[in-house]
Structure 1
Amino acid sequence: MRTGEPLPSVGDVLAALATGLWHWDTATGLVTVDAEAARLLGLPPERTTLTESQTRARLHPQDWNEITGVVPLAVDEGTLAEVRIRIMDGRGRVVRVVRSRSKPSFDPDRRSYELIGTLQEVTEPVPGTAAARNAVTGDWRRSREAFLLDAGRALAEARSTAEVLRVAGGLSMPGFSPDGLVLFGVEGDWLTIIGHHGHQPGDVRPFSDMPLAADYPAAEVVRTGRAVYLSSPEQYEARYPGTWALVRPFGRHSWAFLPLTVAGRTMGAWMAAFTYPVAFTPDERAVLATVARMLAQALSRAGAAESERELTEGLQRSMLPSLGPEIPGMRVAARYIPTGGGLQVGGDWYDMIPLPSGRFALVVGDVQGHDVRAAGLMGQLRIALRAYASEGHRPDAVLSRASRFLHGITHDSRDEHLSDLRFATCVYVEADPATGMLEIARAGHPDPAIRMADGTVMMRPTAGGLPLGVDPDADYPTTGFALEPGETMMLCTDGLIETGGHDLESGWRRLRKVLEDHQGDVETLADALVQAVHGPSSHHTTGPLADRREDDIALVLLCRPGQGCGCDDTATVRTKVRRTLLSVAQDEPERIAEARQHLRELLHDWLSAEQIDSAVLLVSEMVTNVLVHTDTDALLLAEVTGDACGRRLRVEVTDAGDDLPHKRRPGELASSGRGLMLIELLADAWGVDPRGEGKSIWFELYEPDGSEGVSGGVSEGLERRSGGTALDDPAAASGGPS
């Protein structure tokens, strides 16, 4: 070009520099290229428009993904998007490498990107050479160190052989990445395949179960512990003619076989195969050898972890019972979830024991600790409990004997190093399938919870004693009550309640919501309770186990079939009777507070708060009078019947005393004698019924309709006078609590 002549056009300049132009609009999904860009893409040298899928077919998949990742970043940073792209032919081979530089922009209205850029061929040699490495990485040594750090971190986190294979298959070595990997192991005198990557199923079958004496590079590596590098097919065929016929169909050009060595022992071999020639320079060999050592360590750890998991699962299966055949009239579901870490065994357990009387016993317990010692004590204690129960002892005797047994094996060791002072909590339930009657003895364990037929959930206070093993002479009183049709009892260890940073109160609220909202049978309810604590399950022992664990969990659900136990729809269930039974012994005056709380929980959805206060006041008065004026125990029965509105509460307190209550006219300063007066004022109906032995006094409250307000409480009751409507016996009518 002479001085003074006009400048050539941009297109002419770019063509002279062998640089093509391209335009990509992600909104339309079209890519327009000029003649030079088309040539670089392997198309006829003419201007053309391609779809995204047509363009993507010309590029290496990894490079296309890199483009889509670089573009948003360049827009955010206001910089050029520069990517090195490998152009592929129709047979999947790299024909050239080009550099793309573009200035992307983002259209917020169309939510799309638009790019105008250039394509220029890179003059470096084919992949696998030193020049190619320098062009791709910029700084070979620095890139190698970064790669090894990333690879070491990823392999250190692998917890199974499958994860090690996945990480190995994703390794992108700086400047030379293999497209085929095989990990070989050793069993006796045979070479086995642990796993492979980059091969179709069945491709590696000829190399499995190959004798170590075979003329094959991996076998030689295992025999000698030294790596084998083969830079060309000719070298492979000359050195290993016996197996070349098996290798030739894969179309590879270079191979590296390295020993997998741990603690001086060669445990296998690693093969990395390349589709292009690799010279295996000292730097490349150093990288491959380092990766091989990391792979060997990762496989060793993964194998140990898998063996440990197999041992753990076998130990769990041997210690935990199956629930056995179904029990007529009852349904049982159980879950055991061990804590994380270590052998994943601990001291929690459950059991179901057939009894000589035709009944059966349910046991849930927790030995202190989360280690092998706790698991061993748990196994011994479970066997002892089964033995005592099978002899026909009552629940209190079973726990007393078990406590002496645990105290003996943890306190009586003559070797102070073997002495391990541990205790255990436990709840033991003897159930009669025919009647639903339960007898419960408890040793420092959480109380059972009852889900009633209408979905109401209540903690069921039961008498209890010290944890097992603390005092060999401890007593364990029993509590009896009936499991009504449609009701479900939950027994669990504190791990189910407290896991996830919860205390007993907040953890119980979480479980209560699951119990109240659930619809279905006991098996799905057990899964829902576990998932509420740990999230989706991933493993089964007798039910799902979870991956994230903080404390051992043992869970048992006992359901008496009926509405509310996964048999009927919710609409029908809501009309069922809600009933609870509680005994208060003469030496248990503190249980009067439990009775008040129990009644409040029973009336948790009652419309009138004042009526709830009235009912609680009357129950406290009636039970207290039994303890004060008789020498017998009080039995409290409370039930709610009717539909969601206009329900009836009936409370009955029974004792074995012969004297009927009678009204009194207490003086102004008297401290007692107003019991029947309160019942007469506050109850909608009341009465006293003589029994063959003893008597019962009862009252009823009728829930107001929602449209009528919430009257009928303590304050209103004291302003009105209501006679007992069900006192047909004049003698009874004149009596009452004093």
Structure 2
Amino acid sequence: MVDRGASALSLPDDWPAHPEPILALNRMGTFDWDLEAGLFHMDARAHEIFDLRPGEFDGDPDSLGVRVPPSEGLRLDALVAQALKDGSENYGAYFRIRRRDGTLRWTHTQGYIRRDGTGGRPSRIVGIVRDATDELRELSEHDGRAPALPDDPRRRQGNVVQVTTAALAHARTVEDVIDVLKDTQGVTHLGATSLVMGLVEAGRIRLIAEGPEGSFVPGTRVTRMDEPYPMSEVVRTLTPRFIESPEEFAEGYPILWPHITELDITAAAYLPLIVQARPIGAMGLLYSDRRGFTHEERDILVALGSSIAQSLQRAMFYEQEKDIAEGLQQAMLPRTIPSVPGADVAVRYRAAAIGGAKGRDIGGDWYDLIPLPGGRVGAVIGDVQGHDTHAAAVMGQLRIVLRAYAAEGHNPATVMARASVFLHELDTDRFATCLYAEADLATGVVQVVRAGHIDPLLRASDGSCRRVPVEGGLPLGLSAEFGRLEYPVGTIELDPGHTLLLCTDGLVEQPGTDLDDGMQILTGLIAAGPHDVRALADLLIDEADERGGDDDVALLVLRRRGLDAPQSGGRLQQHVAPGDPEALAEARHLIRAAVRAWGAGDRADEVELVADELMTNALMHTEGAAIVTLRVLGGAERRLRVEVEDTSSALPRRREAGTSGVSGRGLMLVDLLADVWGVEARGGGKCVWCEFGVPLRR
């Protein structure tokens, strides 16, 4: 009957301003529902059908709830949602409305779904509503059957099953299934006083729901299959058990009956929950105001049990898969974060919310902290595309190889490029965004490489916070696919007391705002947040939890301690590739910044000049890259040592330069400015070094 007369409506483009006169003549009201704006327009006749006076309806579809009973509203919502989802052009349905005087009237609606031209996304529904009470009564009389009027118990119970089944379709966890049975008041509408439900586990039945509160029977939390309880019986026999009187209950289950006499139970229905001919549990509905069950009522309850069983099975499969995915992700994330001398670090991970706040989904976000030689540390934040077990597995592999490349001593740009090649060659179609920051905590110099990821944030000692723009490259995997593996390196100066924050976009994206607005909101939150990095990380994750969202969040907060905190002696290392003047200039900048941070600013010009000369010689006279290392040596006299390594075994020789010659002057300059210098053989190459005496810091 629902689909009777359902056909596509032919409506004018200027609808609803000029509805077809034929609709008014047939006592039909019209509506126009803008799905994107959420506005629901009705003409005067439609207002009459819903018994709404002028000004009572504000255009919000939810406002019609004053006239549409909850059970009918749920059924209509499920019907429309299904039509929108499966690509239908129209839908039709009969439903009841409760008029101002409390009477129920049958109404028929027919809607035509309009979709946009970008993939068929529904944007608008236009249609009609009309009073159908007389039509249904005449139809029932013509068929010789009792009219199926609104108060008919058969129809009422059938509607409850339909509404409950529609609600169960959205349940993802076992707890969701239990909540549906309570929240939709399906048990109450069926006339039941109490509900019990159990699942079969390892040959026993474990109770997962019981009510009302205080009705728990001691000793029934976990029961054996062979015990004389009705749920055990229906699981063993796979047959429903309908108990039609208190006497039958007391006689059939003498152990259970004394414990429930205070509930005034007069009848009960116990249903096996069966999936693929296998019992997964049982459910009991207990009644206090009825005796016996008609054949039709038994069929309705069995149908309800079947729907619940299917939903429970689906929920259990989902929870098992989620547990496996969460275990996999936890195994892939670092189990512990190493302590870092000179810094306070906090990391957090929050899984994406699904179905509201009831469950969590798995994703590919990750963080990592990599201890490096010389008091340096590598901080990583990344996000693999997707929210599934495969994303978590790819994340784990990518995290491990990125850590290995960093530990091998490669510069940040090389680490990112190699990780991109690895992901491209992996058997996956996923890509990943990533940000890698290599911090020298002695100098405060942080080298940052960004692969399609959001920028880092920096909070100063005074609490002010700002976004630090970093030039970036393509996401990992894509840069290798398109042959664009060049990743520019940005530099951040992290002063004592400054805090660096790296996060994934799940912390930034908010409903109704773009990325820039989200970043601005986040910077304000950080600026007003606590000084302690752990408390700050907790605050940000709590905010993300309250906001919800369908994306997971990874967060890494690193704060450089003040100058009075214990620090390492200081070490800086930089790779300089041949034919890369930008790398050479960057190395000079890092050296100058490090020398000043180590309290030797009066010799910064000398150290920079000597290091530049040694690097230039290595690049001009050898093949391959040069590696420059700057370190502070302790002892009775504090010294600053510069080392430049290359792959040539030929040793440099100091010689006098001619009056017009250019070569030969480099080592003369080194000899003049450095306190001492020398050459050491190193495996497949050599190391030219020099040292400068620097005063102790007071």
TM-score (normalised: structure 1): 0.52
Quick check: 1:179 aligned with 2:193?
yes
- Asked if 1:403 is matched to 2:420, the reply is yes
* 1-structure distance, mates of 2:386, 2:230: 51
Q: Distance in 1 between matches of 2:222 and 2:553?
A: 44
1:441 paired residue number: 449
Q: Is the 8 A contact 1:137 1:174 kept in 2?
A: no
Alpha-carbon distance, 1:370 to partner: 4.1
The answer to whether the aligner puts 1:491 opposite 2:505 as a matched pair is no
**Deviations, residues 152-210 of structure 1 (Å, cap 9, x unaligned):** 23333334333433443463568862222211222233233122112526x32323433
Q: What does 1:330-369 align with in structure 2 at a 5 Å threshold?
A: 330-339=343-352, 344-369=361-386
Distance across 2 between alignment mates of 1:274 and 1:422: 55
Contact 2:160–2:189, Cα closer than 8 Å, also in 1: no
2:466, 2:408 → 1: CA distance?
33
| Partner in structure 2 of residue 168 of structure 1 | 181
For these two proteins, the number of residue pairs brought into alignment is 443
* Closer, same or farther: CA 552–81 of 1 in aligned 2, 3 Å: closer
Aligned residue for 2:556? 556
- Contact between 2:338 and 2:371, CA under 8 Å: does it hold in 1? no
2:464 equivalent to 1:453? no
Residue type of the alignment partner of 1:384 = V
Q: How many angstroms apart in 1 are the aligned matches of 2:190 and 2:506?
A: 51
Does the Cα contact within 8 Å between 1:351 and 1:362 map onto a contact in 2? Answer: yes
2:299 is the counterpart of 1:281: no
The 1:227–1:495 alpha-carbon spacing in structure 2 relative to 1, beyond 3 Å, is closer
DSSP 3-state at the match of 1:357: helix
Pick from 220, 223, 241: which aligns with 1:207?
A: 220
Write the mapping of 1:175-574 to structure 2, written as runs, cut at 5 A. Answer: 177-200=191-214, 203-241=216-254, 244=257, 248=261, 251-339=264-352, 344-410=361-427, 420-462=428-470, 464-469=472-477, 470-471=479-480, 474-476=485-487, 478-500=489-511, 502-530=513-541, 534=544, 536=546, 547-549=548-550, 551-561=551-561
* CA distances 1:111-156 after superposition (whole Å, capped 9, x unpaired): xxxxxxxxxxxxxxxxxxxxxxx9x973223322332233223333
Q: SS at the partner of 1:200?
A: coil
Preserved contact between residue 404 and residue 473 of structure 1 (Cα < 8 Å): no
The equivalences for 1:566-605 within 5 A come to none
Distance 1:256 1:432, change over 3 A: same
Task: Output aligned runs, 1:616-655, within 5 Å.
Answer: none
Residues 168, 311 of structure 2: 8 Å contact kept: yes
Q: What letter matches 2:439 in structure 1?
A: A
| 1:351 Cα deviation after fit | 0.4
| Residue equivalent to 2:651 | none
Offset of residue 78 of structure 1: 11
Contact 1:231–1:254, Cα closer than 8 Å, also in 2: yes
| Cα gap change, 1:236 to 1:447, in 2 (>3 Å) | closer
Alpha carbons 2:322, 2:362 under 8 Å: kept: no
Q: Which moved more, 1:184-193 or 1:461-470?
A: 461-470
Distance change >3 Å, CA 493–CA 220, structure 1 → 2: closer
Partners in 1 of 2:588 and 2:443 — Cα distance? 25
- Which amino acid is the alignment partner of residue 303 of structure 1? M
**Counterparts of 1:167 and 1:473 in 2: how far apart (Å)?**
52
Which sections of structure 2, spanning at least 5 residues, go unmatched?
1-65, 70-97, 105-146, 566-578, 594-603, 611-668, 671-698
Contact 1:406 1:423 in 2 (8 A): yes
Where 2:393 maps in the other structure, the secondary structure is: helix
Structure 1 gap segments, 5+ residues each: 1-65, 70-76, 84-133, 411-419, 537-545, 566-585, 592-626, 638-652, 659-691, 694-738
Paired letter, 1:438: V
- Higher mean alpha-carbon deviation, 340-349 vs 186-195, is at 340-349
Structure 1 residue 445: deviation in Å?
Answer: 3.4
Residue aligned with 1:468, SS: coil
Partner secondary structure for residue 206 of structure 1 = coil
- Aligned 1:7-156 pairs, distance under 5 A: 138-156=151-169
- 2:198–2:281 CA contact under 8 A, matched in 1: yes
In 1, distance between residues paired with 2:522 and 2:169? 37
Q: Distance in 2 between matches of 1:79 and 1:474?
A: 70
The one-letter code sitting in structure 2 at the alignment partner of 1:332 is V
Alpha-carbon distance change, 562 to 257 in structure 1, aligned in 2, over 3 angstroms? same
The residue aligned with 2:696 is none
Identity %: 38
**For residue 334 of structure 2, what is the amino acid of its counterpart?**
P
Which letter maps to 1:426? C
Does the 8 Å contact 1:258/1:289 carry over to 2?
A: yes
Contact 1:455–1:517 (CA under 8 A) maintained in structure 2: yes
Kept in 2: contact 1:430–1:439 (CA 8 A): yes
TM-score by length of 2: 0.54
Q: Does structure 1 conserve the Cα–Cα contact (< 8 Å) formed by 2:380 and 2:434?
A: yes
Q: Find the aligned partners of 2:541 and 2:175 in 1 and give their Cα distance.
A: 27
Query: Secondary structure of the equivalent of 1:453?
Result: coil
In the superposition, relative to structure 1, how do residues 214 and 495 fare at CA in structure 2: closer, same or farther (>3 Å)? closer
CA distance in 2, matches of 1:442, 1:176: 59
Instruction: Supply the AA of the counterpart residue of 1:215.
Output: P
- Following the alignment from structure 2 to structure 1, what is the Cα–Cα distance between the partners of residues 535 and 445? 25
Give the Å deviation of 1:477: 5.1
Displacement, 1:384?
0.8
Distance in 2 separating the partners of 1:266 and 1:327: 55
Cα distance, 1:159–1:233 mapped onto 2, change above 3 Å = same
Residues 554 and 397 (structure 1), Cα distance of their counterparts in 2 relative to 1, 3 Å cut: same
Q: Using the alignment, how far apart are the partners of 1:338 and 1:361 within structure 2?
A: 24
Offset, 1:259: 1.4
Q: Deviations over 1:321-374 (max 9, x none)?
A: 245254343122223344566983333321012224343221112334444433
- Greater Cα shift, 552-561 or 377-386: 552-561
Letter paired with 2:368: D
Deviations 1:466-518 (A, max 9, x none): 54343379344544443112211122334444453544433332323323333
Q: Is the 8 A contact 1:449 1:460 kept in 2?
A: yes
3-state SS of the aligned residue for 2:279? strand
Provide the C-alpha distance between the structure 1 equivalents of 2:151 and 2:295, rounded to a whole number of angstroms: 18
Q: Deviations over 1:408-458 (max 9, x none)?
A: 325xxxxxxxxx454433222222344433233333433322221223333
Offset at 1:528? 4.3
In structure 2, do the counterparts of structure 1 residues 514 and 276 end up closer, same or farther at CA, with 3 Å as the change threshold?
Answer: closer
Which residue identity does 2:318 align to in structure 1? A
State the AA in 2 paired with 1:428: Y
Which residue number in structure 1 is paired with residue 636 of structure 2?
none
SS in 2 for 1:157: coil
Using a 3 Å threshold, how does the CA distance of structure 1 residues 487 and 154 change in structure 2: closer, same or farther? Answer: same
Change (3 A) 1:223 1:327: same
Change in 2 beyond 3 A, CA 1:137/1:82 = closer
Q: Distance in 2 between matches of 1:421 and 1:244?
A: 60
Q: Does the 8 Å CA contact 1:165/1:197 hold for their aligned counterparts?
A: no
For residues 661-680 of structure 1, what are the structure 2 equivalents within 5 Å?
Answer: none
Counterpart code for 1:558 = L
